[in-house]
């Protein structure tokens, strides 16, 4: 009957929410006062939610605190990765204990990964990349697929590999062996010659070109896909 299905669904939803709240409470209880204090301190410095942080303490056996203790943390020069915090325990208005506590702090942040294997020199398209959220022990950075689109792979990689800028390079406008126009201009004088690229050439970068007429190698700057401008 419809009303029985409705009641059954209501009980299932109620059970799910009770389970969820109980799970969160257990996780919260698993964090001791010092760990919670460090997480609150780091979240305030990085302007991120505490839920976006993972804090693991290498606890000193001589440092024990409770919820009733007032904990103070001295300023540090960085808050992510391996951090040594100076912790003070204040009781009855006085510092009763000072200790250095080592911690591993990670921040939830986006990374770019390959959606499938990519081969060397493959031109990267948007469908080749995915954005994933992971905890990393480094300062949060604004990562997007934009800087990678249209570039080509420096080496082959597999699926799910995290991208870095040194894994890609600009696509050459001129390929080794391409015929180009060598252009030289000086004080109104314009001279051109036919050349053949001795290496791949990138926009605005120097490239070696063989002068077809003389057979000599000259160097110039890539102006477009057909022109290499020699400097004065």
Pairing type for strands 179-186 and 227-229 reads parallel
Mean pLDDT of 62-81: 78
Which range is least confidently modeled, 28-32, 98-102, 180-184? 28-32
Mean pLDDT of 210-224: 94
N residues, the chain: 232
Residue with the bigger pLDDT between 105 and 5: it is 105
- Give the pLDDT band of residue 24 (cuts 50, 70, 90): very low
If you average pLDDT over residues 33-61, what whole number do you get?
87
Specify the pLDDT at position 25.
38
pLDDT at 157: 96
Q: Work out the number of other CB atoms within 10 angstroms of the CB of residue 66.
A: 11
- Both tokens of 25, joined, read 């409470």
> Which of 1-5, 109-113, 139-143 is least confident?
1-5
Interatomic CA distance for residues 185 and 48, integer angstroms: 56
pLDDT for residue 187: 79
Phi, psi of 11 (to 5 degrees): -65, -40
Say how many C-beta atoms besides its own lie within 10 A of residue 151's C-beta: 16
Mean pLDDT of 139-161: 90
- In the numeric block, the tokens 């020069």 are attached to 77
Residue 180 has pLDDT above 50, yes or no: yes
Whether 18 has a pLDDT exceeding 80, the answer reads no
pLDDT of residue 59: 65
Q: What angle do CA 33, 65, 29 make, to 5 degrees?
A: 35
pTM over 0.95: no
CB of 171 closer than 8 Å to CB of 201: no
Lowest-confidence segment of 29-33, 50-54, 125-129 by average pLDDT: 29-33
Please give the average per-residue pLDDT across 48-55, as a whole number: 94
- pLDDT of residue 90 exceeding 80: yes
Q: What is the mean pLDDT of residues 204-224?
A: 94
pLDDT tens for 134-148 read 999 988 877 889 889
d(CA 30, CA 55): 12
């Amino acid at each position: 009957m419809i009303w029985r299905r409705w009641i059954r669904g209501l009980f299932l939803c109620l059970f799910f929410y009770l389970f969820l709240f109980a799970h969160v409470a257990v996780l919260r209880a698993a964090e001791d006062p010092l760990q919670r204090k460090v997480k609150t301190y780091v979240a305030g410095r990085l302007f991120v939610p505490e839920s976006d942080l993972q804090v693991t303490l290498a606890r000193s056996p001589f440092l024990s605190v409770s919820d009733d203790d007032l904990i103070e943390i001295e300023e540090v020069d960085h808050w992510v990765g391996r951090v040594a915090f100076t912790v003070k325990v204040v009781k009855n208005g006085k510092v009763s204990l000072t200790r250095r506590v080592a911690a591993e702090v990670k921040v939830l942040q986006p990374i770019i990964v390959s959606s499938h294997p990519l081969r060397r020199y493959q031109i990267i398209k948007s469908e080749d990349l995915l954005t994933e959220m992971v905890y990393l022990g480094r300062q949060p950075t604004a990562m997007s697929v934009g800087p990678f689109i249209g570039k080509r792979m420096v080496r082959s990689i597999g699926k799910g590999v995290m991208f870095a800028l040194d894994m890609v390079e600009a696509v050459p406008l001129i390929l080794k062996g391409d015929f180009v126009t060598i252009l030289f201009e000086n004080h109104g004088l314009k001279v051109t010659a036919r050349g053949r690229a001795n290496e791949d050439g990138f926009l605005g970068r120097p490239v070696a070109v063989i002068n077809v007429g003389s057979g000599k190698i000259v160097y110039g700057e890539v102006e477009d896909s057909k022109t290499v401008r020699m400097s004065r």
